[in-house]
């Protein structure tokens, strides 16, 4: 069974006919070819697929594309400015080496940006709590916390 969905992704209106079982991450990656949103676990445990839906960070592997129909979705690709400059949070991850392999980074950045709305001057503890559902297998999180702190201040 296919269903028709439409939404805004990174400010652009998109629509498609998709299988009812299509997850949001599948739609983003396979239909829209926006591959910055990663698929790690497919069980909403690792956070690599985190995007914003109507301004709220969600794990897109655990949400059907149909559930996002009518919504405003922002992926990691939607953060850069029109001239291609990185978002300050992305730049902070680069500057403070808050990444190693980079696989978890898009989800970390998207979760960190939601944190900015709730706690613009977050403590290390609040940052760690906000990133609790995002797993990094490469770092010890020290530089990720530093990067988020710098990104919040930028």
Closest CA to 112 of 69, 141, 71: 141
For the ranges 16-25, 65-74, 136-145, which has the lowest average pLDDT? Answer: 136-145
Q: How would residue 2 be classed by pLDDT, with cut points 50, 70 and 90?
A: very high
CATH topology (fold) of 2-78: Ubiquitin-like (UB roll) (3.10.20)
Task: Give yes or no for residue 140 having a pLDDT over 80.
Answer: no
- Taking the whole predicted model, whether its pTM rises above 0.75 is answered as yes
pLDDT at 99: 87
- Give the CATH number of domain 88-153; options: 3.40.50.12160, 1.10.150.120, 3.20.20.140, 3.40.640.10: 1.10.150.120
Q: How would residue 139 be classed by pLDDT, with cut points 50, 70 and 90?
A: confident
Closest CA to 93 of 151, 28, 25, 22: 151
């Amino acid at each position: 069974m296919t269903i028709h969905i439409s939404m805004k992704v990174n400010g652009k209106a998109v629509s498609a006919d998709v299988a009812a079982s299509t997850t949001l991450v599948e739609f983003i990656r396979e239909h829209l070819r926006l591959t910055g949103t990663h698929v790690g676990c497919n069980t909403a445990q690792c956070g690599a697929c985190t995007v914003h839906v109507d301004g709220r960070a969600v794990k897109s592997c655990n949400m059907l594309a149909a559930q996002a129909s009518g919504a405003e979705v922002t992926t990691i690709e939607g953060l850069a400015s029109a001239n291609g400059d990185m978002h300050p949070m992305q730049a902070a991850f680069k500057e403070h080496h808050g990444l190693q392999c980079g696989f978890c980074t898009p989800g970390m950045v998207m979760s960190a940006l939601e944190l900015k709305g709730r706690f613009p001057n977050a403590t290390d503890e609040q940052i760690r709590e906000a990133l609790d559902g995002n797993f990094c297998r490469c770092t010890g999180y020290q530089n990720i916390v530093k990067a988020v702190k710098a990104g919040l201040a930028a």
